[in-house]
């Protein structure tokens, strides 16, 4: 079984506490720039990402024009959502469904 990966540095990325609103704001900026928002919960072949002992996701904007949207580390991701992101391969729709109550409700 793979072990979780504890981020020890932010690698220059902004760090924000998870909230659906914060994620949606970031995703909207990504899509407005022509990108595809993705949420990585796996890192360096490890089971999952933690930041200061808390489940985390690295949000990155794939294909945005001119790389205008910086990646963000969201920490404090609820366990049920974090697990769903792992299984679904980093899908924004998982977060939207979860917000609507499909996987635990809004934090």
Domain range summary for the chain, segments of one domain joined by +: 5-99
> Is the pLDDT confidence value at 90 over 60?
no
Cα 92 from Cα 73, distance rounded (Å): 15
Global pTM value:
0.79
Cα 36 from Cα 50, distance rounded (Å): 23
pLDDT, one tens digit per residue, over 20-71 is 899 989 999 998 988 989 888 877 766 688 888 888 988 989 887 777 888 9
Q: What angle do CA 107, 84, 51 make, to 5 degrees?
A: 65
């Amino acid at each position: 079984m793979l072990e979780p990966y504890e981020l020890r540095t932010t690698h220059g990325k902004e760090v924000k506490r998870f909230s659906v609103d914060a994620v949606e704001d970031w995703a909207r900026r990504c899509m407005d720039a022509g990108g595809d928002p993705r949420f990585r919960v796996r890192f360096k072949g490890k089971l999952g990402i933690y930041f200061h002992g808390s489940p985390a996701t690295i949000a990155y904007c794939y294909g945005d024009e001119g790389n205008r949207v910086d990646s963000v580390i969201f920490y404090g991701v609820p366990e049920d959502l974090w697990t769903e992101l792992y299984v679904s391969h980093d899908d924004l729709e998982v977060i939207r469904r979860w917000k609507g109550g499909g996987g635990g409700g809004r934090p």
